[in-house]
């Protein structure tokens, strides 16, 4: 989780990723931010994020992202 | 749909549907909605045969969904059967095999729907372009254009159908087992003409549930419908006269008149499209169905990118979900990402990745609007501006920081909004112009004989609008801007009014009705004005 928080803070350190739960719904993280994040997550956690995962529910909070990352790691 | 048909829809069709809907038992209400939708479509179709295209789209969408669901269940069965014996590698092999098959089925469905759309929409465009190329090369062309009638709403229901099939493929939703329910999802009558483009997860449950709407739904629905009519009849239909006069005879005009016509068209388009969407959302609300919003105060935007998050929202969401994100996680973009991060640095990698994912979005956006080079130009115009905005973002932030200017400063925000208005007005000038050449001619003519005095010396009064028309339009725009301001800061107004005291509720309804009766543009010149987006 710490690794994920570091990635998120590097993308935009003005967002409080620990508490925000509507990152996509409130447009705090835009689509360019999301595709940058996807590339970072794939490299850092050795996972493949497919188009089916590109839904707001997977990116609305750090916890949701972490859940997706751990699920994809298990599936690998 | 002309203004006259729209008024008949609100005064006769909608109340009859509501009455029948309330009299129908809850479990059969979705069938009533489907029945109304079929009647509505048949009434508006210029040729009855055009409903065959819609029927075809329903059949393709439904059975592709069923096929995908069958593949998913077969995949699960094989995985269950092999779970004990072969382990994870066998499971991976099964998943990969079924995914390839499902991808083929999805591609088949998408191609079928897109080829119908492209055949109807772009055949003549291709013939024209080929003829121009051949003529340019000194060859004669025997290809000739044919008369094609476009089925009502095809651009909207095709996107909705593709979205449904993709969502079933990705496992986001379950395939709908009932053909009639799939038909209702694709052709629900308020939204078939101009959207909003709904995802299955947005509306299907409400459409099929047949719940009895609450009193607030009824009041909020009618307030929204009257509000939409106000925007269309008081503002848009008046501006249509000025806009068509200048754009139809664009060679006769220059300077301020062309600039004013570009602004007038932008306002006309917004008032008409968002006004009709208000009527659509209000109509849905009368049946207790909440359709997604399509506009969110687009003229408050501080950039072109933000404008497209507030303007025709459901089209933007569709492009993002089904083109932008799939392209951004495709093999080519991922390979570039890996290469770029090693060799080109983060800034350039991000910029090129964004451009690669954004280019097809804006190309499709242009093409979706129709068979003109000016629409493709319109798409490329926004693509270039949005990528430029992303490219200069770090420099802009550094300059602001060095000058100690806060990003939230009112001056900076106002400057950005005005800059975005210029971008929007220019884009809409090309969008409305009769072809790309006409658009370029009009844009250049703004800088010829530019005399700001034309704004008040009576020149504008020779363009089909009287002083009273200008006064009604300006007053209407101020009211719309004030309501937009409240909506931006406090959320939906119609819902709040619907939940308020009886005198306020009825007061607002009567005020809107009187405003329509007193200030709407009636008469021979107005009744035949067609909805702009219904033509797409």
Q: Which of B309, B310, B328 is the best substitution to test chain A (most A C-beta atoms within 10 A)?
A: B328
Task: Give B-chain residues touching A38 at CB under 8 angstroms.
Answer: 328-329
Whether the Cβ atoms of residue A76 and residue A14 lie closer than 8 Å to each other: no
pLDDT in tens, B26-38: 999 999 999 999 9
Task: Give B-chain residues touching A42 at CB under 8 angstroms.
Answer: 334
Of B305, B341, B357, the CB nearest to A35: B357
Phi-psi map region of B46: left, alpha, beta (phi>0 left; psi -120 to 50 alpha): alpha
Q: Is the pLDDT of residue B1 over 60?
A: yes
Q: Do B353 and A49 touch (CB under 8 A)?
A: no
**What is residue B514's predicted lDDT score, i.e. its pLDDT?**
81
pLDDT in tens, B72-98: 999 999 888 887 665 677 888 888 899
Query: What would the mean pLDDT of B419-445 be, rounded to a whole number?
Result: 94
Q: Is the pLDDT of residue B10 over 60?
A: yes
CATH topology of domain A2-75: 1.10.1200
Closest approach of chain B CAs to the CA of A49, in angstroms?
7
Q: Do A32 and B309 touch (CB under 8 A)?
A: no
Q: Which of the four pLDDT bands, split at 50, 70 and 90, describes residue B227?
A: very high
Q: Do A30 and B305 touch (CB under 8 A)?
A: yes
Whether the Cβ atoms of residue B366 and residue B380 lie closer than 8 Å to each other: yes
Residues 6+ positions from B497 with CB-CB distance below 8 Å? B219, B220, B223, B504, B505, B508
**What is residue B236's predicted lDDT score, i.e. its pLDDT?**
93
Whether the Cβ atoms of residue B356 and residue B336 lie closer than 8 Å to each other: yes
**What is residue B372's predicted lDDT score, i.e. its pLDDT?**
85
Whether the Cβ atoms of residue B71 and residue B101 lie closer than 8 Å to each other: yes
Gap between the Cα atoms of B60 and B111, Å rounded? 11
Task: Give B-chain residues touching A34 at CB under 8 angstroms.
Answer: 325
Quote the tokens at residue B517: 């009766």
What DSSP line would sit under A14-32, residue for residue? TS-TTT-S-TTTTTSS-HH
Q: Is the pLDDT of residue B536 over 70?
A: no
Q: Is the pLDDT of residue B527 over 60?
A: no
For A26, nearest residue in chain B (alpha carbons): B309
Of A32, A43, A54, the CB nearest to B329: A54
Q: Which of A34, A52, A56, A72 is the best substitution to test chain B (most B C-beta atoms within 10 A)?
A: A52
Q: Which residues are B2's β-sheet partners?
A: B530
User: Considering only A49-58, B112-121, B165-174, B492-501, which range has the smallest mean pLDDT?
Assistant: B492-501
Closest approach of chain A CAs to the CA of B166, in angstroms?
9
Residues 6+ positions from A63 with CB-CB distance below 8 Å? A21
Q: Do A39 and B341 touch (CB under 8 A)?
A: yes
For A10, nearest residue in chain B (alpha carbons): B346
A-B contacts (CB, under 8 Å): 44
Task: Give A-chain residues touching B337 at CB under 8 angstroms.
Answer: 39
Q: Is the ipTM of this complex over 0.85?
A: yes
Average pLDDT of chain B? 89
Residue ranges of chain B whose CB lies within 8 Å of a chain A CB = 169-172, 305, 309, 320-321, 324-326, 328-329, 333-334, 337-338, 341, 349-350, 353-354, 357, 390
Closest approach of chain A CAs to the CA of B323, in angstroms?
10
Quote the pTM value: 0.89
Gap between the Cα atoms of B369 and B155, Å rounded? 8
Closest approach of chain A CAs to the CA of B148, in angstroms?
36
Q: Which of A39, A47, A55, A76 is the best substitution to test chain B (most B C-beta atoms within 10 A)?
A: A39
Helix (H), strand (E) at residue B196: none
pLDDT in tens, B56-70: 999 999 999 999 999
pLDDT in tens, B205-224: 999 999 998 888 988 899 99
Closest approach of chain A CAs to the CA of B305, in angstroms?
10
Contacts 24+ apart (CB under 8 A), B516-521: B516/B226, B516/B229, B516/B230, B516/B233, B516/B234, B519/B234, B519/B472, B519/B475, B519/B476, B520/B229, B520/B230, B520/B233, B520/B234, B520/B237, B521/B233, B521/B234, B521/B237, B521/B238, B521/B469, B521/B472
Query: What would the mean pLDDT of B11-16 be, rounded to a whole number?
Result: 92
Q: Do A52 and B334 touch (CB under 8 A)?
A: no
Task: Give B-chain residues touching A49 at CB under 8 angstroms.
Answer: 329
Of B321, B329, B354, the CB nearest to A38: B329
Q: Do B390 and A32 touch (CB under 8 A)?
A: yes
Q: Do A51 and B325 touch (CB under 8 A)?
A: yes
Q: Do A31 and B321 touch (CB under 8 A)?
A: no
Gap between the Cα atoms of B236 and B265, Å rounded? 9
Whether the Cβ atoms of residue B181 and residue B188 lie closer than 8 Å to each other: no
Gap between the Cα atoms of B166 and A50, Å rounded? 13
Q: For chain A, what percentages of helix, strand and coil (3-state, to nearest 5) are there?
A: 60, 0, 40
Closest approach of chain A CAs to the CA of B326, in angstroms?
5
Q: Which residue ranges of chain A lie beneath pLDDT 50?
A: none
Q: Is the pLDDT of residue B533 over 70?
A: no
Gap between the Cα atoms of B53 and B150, Å rounded? 10
Q: Please state the length of chain B.
A: 536
Closest approach of chain B CAs to the CA of A40, in angstroms?
10
Percent of chain B with pLDDT over 70: 96
Closest approach of chain A CAs to the CA of B170, in angstroms?
5
Gap between the Cα atoms of B121 and B242, Å rounded? 29
Closest approach of chain B CAs to the CA of A33, in angstroms?
9
Query: What would the mean pLDDT of B92-113 be, rounded to a whole number?
Result: 93
- How many other C-beta atoms can be found within 10 angstroms of the C-beta atom of residue B529? 22
Of B329, B337, B353, the CB nearest to A51: B329
Domain ranges in chain A are 2-75
pLDDT in tens, B325-369: 999 988 888 888 888 888 888 888 889 999 999 999 999 999 998
Q: Which of the four pLDDT bands, split at 50, 70 and 90, describes residue B534?
A: low
**What is residue B49's predicted lDDT score, i.e. its pLDDT?**
81
Q: Which of the four pLDDT bands, split at 50, 70 and 90, describes residue B525?
A: low
Gap between the Cα atoms of B92 and B413, Å rounded? 52
Residue ranges of chain A whose CB lies within 8 Å of a chain B CB = 27, 30-32, 34-36, 38-39, 42-43, 49-52, 54-55
């Amino acid at each position: 989780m710490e690794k994920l928080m570091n990635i998120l803070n590097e993308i935009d350190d003005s967002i409080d990723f620990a508490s925000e739960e509507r990152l996509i719904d409130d447009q705090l993280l835009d689509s360019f931010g999301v595709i940058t994040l996807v590339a970072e997550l794939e490299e850092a956690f050795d996972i493949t994020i497919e188009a089916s995962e590109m839904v707001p529910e997977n990116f609305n909070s750090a916890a949701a992202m972490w859940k997706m990352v751990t699920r994809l790691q298990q599936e690998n | 749909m002309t203004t006259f048909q729209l008024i008949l829809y609100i005064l006769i069709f909608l109340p009859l549907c509501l009455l029948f809907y309330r009299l129908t038992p809850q479990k059969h209400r979705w069938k009533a909605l489907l029945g109304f939708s079929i009647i509505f479509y048949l009434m508006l179709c210029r040729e009855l045969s055009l409903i065959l295209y819609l029927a075809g789209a329903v059949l393709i969408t439904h059975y592709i969904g069923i096929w995908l669901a069958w593949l998913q269940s077969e995949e699960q069965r094989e995985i269950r059967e092999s779970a004990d014996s072969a382990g994870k590698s066998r499971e991976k092999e099964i998943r990969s095999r079924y995914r390839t098959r499902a991808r083929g089925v999805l591609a088949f469905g998408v191609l079928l729907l897109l080829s119908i759309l492209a055949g109807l929409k772009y055949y003549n465009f291709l013939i024209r372009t080929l003829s121009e190329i051949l003529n340019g090369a000194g060859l004669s062309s025997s290809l000739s254009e044919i008369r094609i009638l476009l089925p009502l709403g095809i651009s909207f229901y095709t996107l909705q159908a593709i979205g449904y099939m993709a969502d079933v493929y990705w496992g986001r939703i379950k395939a709908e087992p009932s053909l009639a329910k799939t038909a209702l999802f694709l052709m629900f009558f308020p939204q078939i003409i101009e959207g909003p483009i709904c995802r299955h997860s947005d509306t299907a449950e409400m459409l099929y549930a047949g719940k009895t709407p609450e009193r607030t739904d009824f009041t909020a629905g009618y307030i929204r419908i009257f509000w939409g009519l106000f925007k269309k009849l008081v503002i848009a239909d008046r501006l249509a006269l000025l806009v068509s006069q200048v754009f139809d005879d664009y060679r006769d005009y220059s300077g301020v008149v062309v600039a004013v016509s570009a602004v007038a068209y932008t306002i006309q388009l917004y008032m008409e499209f968002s006004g009709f969407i208000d009527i659509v959302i209000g109509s849905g609300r009368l049946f207790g169905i909440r359709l997604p919003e399509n506009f969110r105060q687009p003229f408050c935007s501080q950039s072109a990118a933000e404008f497209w998050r507030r303007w025709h929202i459901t089209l933007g969401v569709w492009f993002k979900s089904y083109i932008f994100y799939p392209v951004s996680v495709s093999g080519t973009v991922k390979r570039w990402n890996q290469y770029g991060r090693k060799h080109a640095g983060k800034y350039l990698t991000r910029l090129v990745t964004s451009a690669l994912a954004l280019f097809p979005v804006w190309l499709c956006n242009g093409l979706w609007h129709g068979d003109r080079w000016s629409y493709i130009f319109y798409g490329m115009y926004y693509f270039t501006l949005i990528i430029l905005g992303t490219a200069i973002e770090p420099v802009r932030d550094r300059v602001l920081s060095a000058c100690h200017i806060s990003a939230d400063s009112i001056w900076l925000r106002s400057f950005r909004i005005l800059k975005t208005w210029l971008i929007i007005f220019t884009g809409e000038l090309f969008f409305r112009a009769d072809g790309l050449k006409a658009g370029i001619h009009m844009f250049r003519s703004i800088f010829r004989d530019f005399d700001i005095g034309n704004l008040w010396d009576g020149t504008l009064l020779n363009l089909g609008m009287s002083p009273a028309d200008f006064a009604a339009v300006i007053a209407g725009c101020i009211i719309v801007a004030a309501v937009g301001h409240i909506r931006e800061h406090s959320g939906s107004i119609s819902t709040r009014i619907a939940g308020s005291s009886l005198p306020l509720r009825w007061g607002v309804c009567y005020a809107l009705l009187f405003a329509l009766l007193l200030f709407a543009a009636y008469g021979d010149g107005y009744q035949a004005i067609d909805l702009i987006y219904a033509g797409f």
